[in-house]
Amino acid sequence: MNLQRIFAVLKARTREFYRDKAGLGWNLFMPFVMVLGFAFIFSNPEQDLYKVGLLGDASASDAPAFVHLKHIDFIAQDNEAGAIEKVRRHQIDLLLDLRSGQRYWVNESSAKGYIVERLLLGSPSSSAPQASREVVSGRALRYVDWVLPGVLAVNVMFSSLWGVGWVIVRYRKNGVLRRLRATPLNAGEFLVAQILSRLLVVGSVTALVFVATHVLLDFTVRGSYLALVLVFLAGAIALISIGLSVSARVRSEELADGLLNLLSWPMMILSGVWFSLEGTNVWAQRIAELLPLTHMVDAARRIMLDGAGLRDVAFEIALLLGIGVLLLGIAAKAFRWQ
Protein backbone atom coordinates (compact mmCIF):
# COMPACT_ATOMS: atom_id res chain seq x y z
CA MET A 1 0.00 0.00 0.00
CA ASN A 2 1.42 3.33 -1.10
CA LEU A 3 -0.13 6.18 0.92
CA GLN A 4 0.78 8.84 -1.64
CA ARG A 5 -1.14 7.01 -4.36
CA ILE A 6 -4.13 6.39 -2.05
CA PHE A 7 -4.22 10.07 -1.10
CA ALA A 8 -4.01 11.17 -4.75
CA VAL A 9 -7.00 9.00 -5.78
CA LEU A 10 -8.94 10.00 -2.65
CA LYS A 11 -8.36 13.68 -3.47
CA ALA A 12 -9.40 13.25 -7.10
CA ARG A 13 -12.58 11.33 -6.23
CA THR A 14 -13.61 13.76 -3.48
CA ARG A 15 -12.96 16.69 -5.80
CA GLU A 16 -15.10 15.02 -8.44
CA PHE A 17 -17.92 14.76 -5.89
CA TYR A 18 -17.94 18.32 -4.61
CA ARG A 19 -17.43 19.89 -8.03
CA ASP A 20 -20.46 18.04 -9.37
CA LYS A 21 -22.89 20.72 -8.21
CA ALA A 22 -25.98 18.78 -9.28
CA GLY A 23 -24.91 15.66 -7.37
CA LEU A 24 -23.81 17.66 -4.33
CA GLY A 25 -27.07 19.59 -4.30
CA TRP A 26 -29.06 16.41 -4.49
CA ASN A 27 -27.08 14.81 -1.64
CA LEU A 28 -27.80 17.77 0.62
CA PHE A 29 -31.26 18.64 -0.64
CA MET A 30 -32.87 15.21 -0.36
CA PRO A 31 -32.44 14.57 3.38
CA PHE A 32 -33.44 18.16 4.15
CA VAL A 33 -36.60 17.83 2.10
CA MET A 34 -37.45 14.52 3.76
CA VAL A 35 -36.88 15.72 7.33
CA LEU A 36 -38.52 19.10 6.87
CA GLY A 37 -41.37 17.51 4.92
CA PHE A 38 -42.12 15.13 7.77
CA ALA A 39 -41.80 17.95 10.29
CA PHE A 40 -44.35 19.97 8.32
CA ILE A 41 -46.79 17.16 7.59
CA PHE A 42 -46.86 15.99 11.20
CA SER A 43 -46.50 19.43 12.79
CA ASN A 44 -49.99 19.44 14.39
CA PRO A 45 -49.19 18.15 17.90
CA GLU A 46 -52.77 17.28 18.89
CA GLN A 47 -54.45 15.76 15.90
CA ASP A 48 -58.06 14.75 16.45
CA LEU A 49 -58.40 11.03 16.90
CA TYR A 50 -61.90 10.56 15.48
CA LYS A 51 -64.18 12.18 12.96
CA VAL A 52 -67.93 12.43 13.62
CA GLY A 53 -70.44 13.87 11.17
CA LEU A 54 -73.29 15.93 12.60
CA LEU A 55 -76.66 16.53 11.03
CA GLY A 56 -78.34 19.54 12.67
CA ASP A 57 -77.18 22.32 14.99
CA ALA A 58 -74.52 21.31 17.57
CA SER A 59 -74.80 24.64 19.40
CA ALA A 60 -78.45 24.06 20.27
CA SER A 61 -79.14 23.94 24.01
CA ASP A 62 -80.48 20.41 23.86
CA ALA A 63 -77.42 19.00 22.09
CA PRO A 64 -75.96 15.98 23.96
CA ALA A 65 -72.74 16.39 26.01
CA PHE A 66 -71.06 14.01 23.54
CA VAL A 67 -70.62 16.80 20.98
CA HIS A 68 -68.40 18.70 23.43
CA LEU A 69 -65.87 15.89 23.86
CA LYS A 70 -62.26 16.79 23.08
CA HIS A 71 -60.07 15.22 20.41
CA ILE A 72 -63.04 14.41 18.23
CA ASP A 73 -63.43 16.35 15.04
CA PHE A 74 -67.13 17.15 14.66
CA ILE A 75 -67.93 17.91 11.06
CA ALA A 76 -71.28 19.45 10.08
CA GLN A 77 -73.02 17.57 7.27
CA ASP A 78 -75.71 19.05 5.00
CA ASN A 79 -76.71 16.01 3.05
CA GLU A 80 -77.89 12.95 4.96
CA ALA A 81 -77.46 10.47 2.12
CA GLY A 82 -73.98 11.80 1.30
CA ALA A 83 -72.98 11.65 4.96
CA ILE A 84 -74.19 8.05 5.29
CA GLU A 85 -72.08 7.19 2.25
CA LYS A 86 -69.04 8.69 4.05
CA VAL A 87 -69.70 6.35 7.02
CA ARG A 88 -69.93 3.48 4.59
CA ARG A 89 -66.51 4.40 3.21
CA HIS A 90 -64.88 5.02 6.65
CA GLN A 91 -64.36 8.67 5.74
CA ILE A 92 -66.12 9.59 8.97
CA ASP A 93 -66.31 7.23 11.95
CA LEU A 94 -69.92 7.93 12.94
CA LEU A 95 -72.84 10.10 11.84
CA LEU A 96 -75.14 11.61 14.50
CA ASP A 97 -78.50 13.12 13.66
CA LEU A 98 -79.15 15.91 16.16
CA ARG A 99 -82.46 16.72 14.54
CA SER A 100 -84.12 13.54 15.73
CA GLY A 101 -81.86 13.13 18.74
CA GLN A 102 -81.94 9.34 18.72
CA ARG A 103 -80.47 8.31 15.41
CA TYR A 104 -76.87 7.61 14.50
CA TRP A 105 -75.07 5.59 11.82
CA VAL A 106 -71.98 3.53 12.39
CA ASN A 107 -70.06 1.10 10.16
CA GLU A 108 -69.62 -2.16 12.07
CA SER A 109 -66.40 -2.97 10.24
CA SER A 110 -64.80 0.29 11.44
CA ALA A 111 -62.67 0.01 14.59
CA LYS A 112 -62.78 3.74 15.14
CA GLY A 113 -66.54 3.69 14.65
CA TYR A 114 -66.80 1.12 17.44
CA ILE A 115 -64.88 3.33 19.89
CA VAL A 116 -66.82 6.46 19.01
CA GLU A 117 -70.08 4.55 19.44
CA ARG A 118 -68.99 3.50 22.95
CA LEU A 119 -68.19 7.13 23.73
CA LEU A 120 -71.60 8.20 22.44
CA LEU A 121 -73.47 5.58 24.43
CA GLY A 122 -71.86 6.44 27.74
CA SER A 123 -68.49 6.70 29.50
CA PRO A 124 -67.36 3.54 31.31
CA SER A 125 -65.47 5.71 33.82
CA SER A 126 -68.47 5.86 36.12
CA SER A 127 -67.99 2.18 36.97
CA ALA A 128 -64.18 2.35 37.20
CA PRO A 129 -62.56 2.01 40.65
CA GLN A 130 -61.43 5.21 42.24
CA ALA A 131 -57.75 5.92 41.56
CA SER A 132 -55.53 8.76 42.49
CA ARG A 133 -54.71 11.09 39.66
CA GLU A 134 -51.04 11.60 38.88
CA VAL A 135 -49.85 14.42 36.69
CA VAL A 136 -46.80 14.13 34.46
CA SER A 137 -45.44 16.70 32.03
CA GLY A 138 -43.14 16.56 28.98
CA ARG A 139 -43.09 17.27 25.31
CA ALA A 140 -44.69 14.69 23.09
CA LEU A 141 -42.34 12.67 20.93
CA ARG A 142 -42.83 14.12 17.50
CA TYR A 143 -42.83 11.86 14.49
CA VAL A 144 -40.03 13.95 13.05
CA ASP A 145 -37.84 13.18 16.10
CA TRP A 146 -38.58 9.51 15.65
CA VAL A 147 -38.00 9.48 11.88
CA LEU A 148 -34.85 11.66 11.80
CA PRO A 149 -32.33 8.88 12.65
CA GLY A 150 -33.89 6.79 9.89
CA VAL A 151 -33.77 9.59 7.32
CA LEU A 152 -30.11 10.24 8.10
CA ALA A 153 -29.37 6.52 7.81
CA VAL A 154 -31.24 6.24 4.50
CA ASN A 155 -29.20 9.13 3.15
CA VAL A 156 -26.01 7.37 4.23
CA MET A 157 -27.29 4.23 2.51
CA PHE A 158 -28.01 5.87 -0.85
CA SER A 159 -24.79 7.86 -0.80
CA SER A 160 -22.73 4.78 0.09
CA LEU A 161 -24.33 2.39 -2.37
CA TRP A 162 -24.50 4.65 -5.42
CA GLY A 163 -21.54 6.89 -4.60
CA VAL A 164 -19.25 3.86 -4.66
CA GLY A 165 -21.05 1.05 -6.47
CA TRP A 166 -22.49 2.93 -9.39
CA VAL A 167 -19.47 5.21 -9.79
CA ILE A 168 -17.03 2.30 -10.04
CA VAL A 169 -19.19 0.62 -12.68
CA ARG A 170 -19.23 3.92 -14.61
CA TYR A 171 -15.44 4.14 -14.31
CA ARG A 172 -15.16 0.59 -15.63
CA LYS A 173 -17.50 1.24 -18.53
CA ASN A 174 -15.93 4.50 -19.74
CA GLY A 175 -12.33 3.33 -19.41
CA VAL A 176 -11.18 5.27 -16.32
CA LEU A 177 -10.33 2.01 -14.54
CA ARG A 178 -8.45 0.74 -17.59
CA ARG A 179 -6.33 3.89 -17.62
CA LEU A 180 -5.63 3.62 -13.88
CA ARG A 181 -4.74 -0.04 -14.23
CA ALA A 182 -1.95 0.88 -16.62
CA THR A 183 -0.22 2.71 -13.76
CA PRO A 184 1.51 1.24 -10.68
CA LEU A 185 -1.70 1.90 -8.67
CA ASN A 186 -2.99 -1.45 -7.40
CA ALA A 187 -6.59 -2.56 -6.76
CA GLY A 188 -6.23 -2.42 -2.96
CA GLU A 189 -5.00 1.18 -3.06
CA PHE A 190 -7.78 2.16 -5.44
CA LEU A 191 -10.50 0.56 -3.29
CA VAL A 192 -9.18 2.01 -0.02
CA ALA A 193 -9.14 5.47 -1.62
CA GLN A 194 -12.75 5.05 -2.79
CA ILE A 195 -13.86 3.95 0.70
CA LEU A 196 -12.07 6.81 2.46
CA SER A 197 -13.37 9.38 0.00
CA ARG A 198 -16.93 8.18 0.42
CA LEU A 199 -16.63 8.10 4.22
CA LEU A 200 -15.43 11.69 4.09
CA VAL A 201 -18.35 12.69 1.88
CA VAL A 202 -20.96 10.77 3.87
CA GLY A 203 -19.57 12.07 7.17
CA SER A 204 -19.57 15.70 6.00
CA VAL A 205 -23.03 15.60 4.44
CA THR A 206 -24.57 13.78 7.42
CA ALA A 207 -22.98 16.21 9.88
CA LEU A 208 -24.21 19.18 7.86
CA VAL A 209 -27.77 17.84 7.62
CA PHE A 210 -27.71 16.91 11.30
CA VAL A 211 -26.62 20.38 12.44
CA ALA A 212 -29.03 22.20 10.13
CA THR A 213 -32.03 20.08 11.15
CA HIS A 214 -30.98 20.48 14.79
CA VAL A 215 -31.17 24.24 14.40
CA LEU A 216 -34.45 24.17 12.48
CA LEU A 217 -36.31 21.49 14.43
CA ASP A 218 -34.81 21.74 17.90
CA PHE A 219 -34.49 18.04 18.67
CA THR A 220 -32.33 16.66 21.44
CA VAL A 221 -29.88 13.77 21.41
CA ARG A 222 -30.32 12.09 24.75
CA GLY A 223 -27.47 9.61 24.41
CA SER A 224 -23.78 9.65 23.51
CA TYR A 225 -22.65 11.68 20.48
CA LEU A 226 -19.55 9.49 20.20
CA ALA A 227 -21.75 6.40 20.00
CA LEU A 228 -23.90 8.11 17.35
CA VAL A 229 -20.85 8.96 15.23
CA LEU A 230 -19.53 5.40 15.54
CA VAL A 231 -22.89 3.89 14.58
CA PHE A 232 -23.07 6.02 11.42
CA LEU A 233 -19.40 5.32 10.63
CA ALA A 234 -19.80 1.56 11.03
CA GLY A 235 -23.07 1.67 9.08
CA ALA A 236 -21.44 3.62 6.25
CA ILE A 237 -18.57 1.10 6.10
CA ALA A 238 -21.06 -1.78 5.88
CA LEU A 239 -23.10 -0.06 3.16
CA ILE A 240 -20.03 1.06 1.16
CA SER A 241 -18.79 -2.53 1.25
CA ILE A 242 -22.14 -3.65 -0.20
CA GLY A 243 -21.71 -1.06 -2.97
CA LEU A 244 -18.19 -2.32 -3.65
CA SER A 245 -19.35 -5.93 -3.77
CA VAL A 246 -22.02 -5.08 -6.33
CA SER A 247 -19.54 -3.13 -8.46
CA ALA A 248 -16.66 -5.61 -8.25
CA ARG A 249 -17.27 -7.03 -11.73
CA VAL A 250 -20.38 -5.48 -13.22
CA ARG A 251 -19.81 -3.56 -16.47
CA SER A 252 -23.31 -2.25 -17.13
CA GLU A 253 -24.59 0.83 -15.31
CA GLU A 254 -28.16 -0.38 -15.85
CA LEU A 255 -27.44 -3.72 -14.17
CA ALA A 256 -25.63 -1.98 -11.31
CA ASP A 257 -28.58 0.37 -10.88
CA GLY A 258 -30.98 -2.57 -10.78
CA LEU A 259 -28.90 -4.51 -8.25
CA LEU A 260 -28.50 -1.46 -6.00
CA ASN A 261 -32.26 -0.82 -6.14
CA LEU A 262 -32.88 -4.47 -5.35
CA LEU A 263 -30.77 -4.08 -2.22
CA SER A 264 -31.86 -0.63 -1.12
CA TRP A 265 -35.65 -0.88 -1.43
CA PRO A 266 -36.09 -3.80 1.00
CA MET A 267 -33.90 -1.85 3.42
CA MET A 268 -35.99 1.29 2.90
CA ILE A 269 -39.19 -0.59 3.65
CA LEU A 270 -38.17 -3.22 6.20
CA SER A 271 -35.53 -1.45 8.29
CA GLY A 272 -38.00 0.50 10.40
CA VAL A 273 -37.09 3.83 8.88
CA TRP A 274 -40.65 5.13 8.42
CA PHE A 275 -42.66 2.98 10.82
CA SER A 276 -42.00 0.57 13.64
CA LEU A 277 -41.94 -3.09 12.68
CA GLU A 278 -43.34 -4.02 16.08
CA GLY A 279 -46.39 -6.20 15.64
CA THR A 280 -45.82 -6.72 11.91
CA ASN A 281 -45.40 -10.06 10.15
CA VAL A 282 -42.80 -12.23 11.88
CA TRP A 283 -41.10 -13.03 8.57
CA ALA A 284 -40.76 -9.35 7.77
CA GLN A 285 -39.10 -8.89 11.15
CA ARG A 286 -36.70 -11.80 10.54
CA ILE A 287 -35.70 -10.43 7.15
CA ALA A 288 -35.23 -7.00 8.70
CA GLU A 289 -32.79 -8.50 11.19
CA LEU A 290 -30.53 -9.44 8.25
CA LEU A 291 -30.36 -5.90 6.90
CA PRO A 292 -27.55 -3.61 8.08
CA LEU A 293 -29.78 -0.55 7.85
CA THR A 294 -32.12 -2.06 10.49
CA HIS A 295 -29.31 -2.20 13.05
CA MET A 296 -28.02 1.22 12.09
CA VAL A 297 -31.45 2.86 12.44
CA ASP A 298 -32.26 0.97 15.62
CA ALA A 299 -28.97 1.91 17.30
CA ALA A 300 -29.16 5.55 16.18
CA ARG A 301 -32.77 5.82 17.40
CA ARG A 302 -31.91 4.30 20.77
CA ILE A 303 -29.07 6.80 21.18
CA MET A 304 -31.06 9.83 20.08
CA LEU A 305 -34.41 9.02 21.69
CA ASP A 306 -33.74 6.65 24.57
CA GLY A 307 -30.37 7.99 25.70
CA ALA A 308 -28.34 4.86 24.87
CA GLY A 309 -24.57 5.01 25.36
CA LEU A 310 -21.63 3.43 23.59
CA ARG A 311 -21.92 0.21 25.56
CA ASP A 312 -25.62 -0.14 24.74
CA VAL A 313 -24.97 -0.07 20.99
CA ALA A 314 -21.61 -1.88 20.98
CA PHE A 315 -23.24 -4.98 19.48
CA GLU A 316 -24.70 -3.05 16.53
CA ILE A 317 -21.38 -1.26 15.91
CA ALA A 318 -19.47 -4.56 15.98
CA LEU A 319 -22.06 -6.23 13.73
CA LEU A 320 -21.95 -3.43 11.15
CA LEU A 321 -18.14 -3.41 11.17
CA GLY A 322 -18.15 -7.19 10.80
CA ILE A 323 -20.45 -6.99 7.77
CA GLY A 324 -18.21 -4.25 6.36
CA VAL A 325 -14.95 -6.15 6.77
CA LEU A 326 -16.41 -9.39 5.41
CA LEU A 327 -17.89 -7.79 2.30
CA LEU A 328 -14.81 -5.63 1.71
CA GLY A 329 -12.71 -8.78 1.67
CA ILE A 330 -15.07 -10.39 -0.83
CA ALA A 331 -15.20 -7.22 -2.97
CA ALA A 332 -11.41 -6.84 -3.02
CA LYS A 333 -10.98 -10.47 -4.07
CA ALA A 334 -13.65 -10.27 -6.75
CA PHE A 335 -12.63 -6.84 -8.08
CA ARG A 336 -11.73 -6.62 -11.77
CA TRP A 337 -10.37 -3.51 -13.46
CA GLN A 338 -11.99 -4.53 -16.74
Partner 1 sequence: MAALIEVESLVKTYPGVRAVNDISFSVAEGTCFGLLGPNGAGKTTTLEILEGISDADAGDIRFRGAPRDGRYRELIGIQFQNTALQDFQTVREALDLFGSFYPNHYPLEELIEICRLGDLLRRDTRKLSGGQRQRLLLAIALLNDPELVFLDEPTTGLDPQSRRNFWHLIEGIKTRGKTVLMTTHYMEEASELCDEIAVIDHGRIIEQGQPNALLGQHFPRALVRIPLHTLPTPTSLPDGFEARGPYAVAATDDIDATLAELERRAIARDELHVSTPTLDDLFLKLTGHGLRES
- The residues of the shown chain that bind partner 1, judged by CB under 8 A, are 4-5, 7-9, 11-13, 15-16, 19-20, 171, 174-176, 178-179, 181-185, 338
The smaller minimum CB distance to partner 1, of residues 119 and 185, is found at: 185
The smaller minimum CB distance to partner 1, of residues 22 and 65, is found at: 22
The smaller minimum CB distance to partner 1, of residues 137 and 338, is found at: 338
- CA–CA distance, 30 with 23 (Å, rounded to integer): 11
> How near is the Cβ of 29 to partner 1 at its closest, in Å?
19
Using a 10 angstrom Cβ sphere, with 0-12 exposed, 13-18 middle and 19 or more buried, the burial of residue 308 is buried
Strands 103-106 and 94-97: antiparallel
Q: How far is CA 130 from the centre of its chain?
A: 42
H/E stretch holding 37: helix 21-41
Answer yes or no: are the C-beta atoms of 73 and 51 closer than 8 Å.
yes
Secondary structure, 3-state, 49-109: CEEEEEECCCCCCCCCHHHHCCCEEEEECCCHHHHHHHHHCCCCCEEEECCCCCEEEECCC
The smaller minimum CB distance to partner 1, of residues 44 and 338, is found at: 338
The smaller minimum CB distance to partner 1, of residues 176 and 196, is found at: 176
